[in-house]
Amino acid sequence: MASRVSIQKRRVVLGLGNILCGDEGLGVFALHTARDQLGNQSGFEWIDGGVMGLDLLPLVEECSHLLVLDAIDADQPAGTVIELEKKEISLLAGIKLSEHQLSFKEVLGLASIQQALPEQLHLIGIQPSDLTVKIGLSEIVKSAMPEIIEHTRRVLSEWV
């Protein structure tokens, strides 16, 4: 394995999802809302990862701190906020992240194999309700958005 040069690592808030499929777009909508409300958090980059999948691997490898916002299908009631830390993310085998996430789970797996996972990794999401083709979130997911923003605020303040 090639040795890694010590460089300044990135601190990133990453929103994932397809905004054309209802609640599947939660991570992107949450990212923009959080950036508008919390954007003054110095030292953090706000990145809309959409459905980039494996193209996100270089970004993940460059991060020291990565907060991922996304829809998470964990067989919970719709609108349930789900938060996982790095040590809990290995338990995701039974949790289906949204459709684009098959690739993002692979991204995390590849980064782990290469020993390049961020030092701090956090996933915050909501159990989706409506994944039909439409722009916008269901009312139940919209109503949970303030809780997502508060979780995001807390994690970022812990990382400052």
Helix or strand (DSSP H, E) at 62: helix 57-62
Between residues 17 and 41, the one the model is more confident about = 17
In a domain, 3, yes or no: no
What does the alpha-carbon distance between residue 29 and residue 63 come to, in Å, rounded to a whole number?
22
Query: Amino acid identity of 20?
Result: L
Q: Sorting pLDDT into bands at 50, 70 and 90, what band is 91?
A: very low
**Which range marks the domain in which residue 27 is found?**
10-159
Domain count of the chain?
A: 1
CB 40 within 8 A of CB 150: no
Hey, which residues does 14 pair with through a beta bridge? Answer: 47, 68
What is the pLDDT, as a whole number, of residue 123? 96
In a domain, 2, yes or no: no
What is the pLDDT, as a whole number, of residue 71? 94
Question: At residue 115, does pLDDT exceed 80?
Answer: yes
The CATH number assigned to the domain holding 129 equals 3.40.50.1450
- Please state, rounded to an integer, the average pLDDT across all residues of the chain: 88
In a domain, 71, yes or no: yes
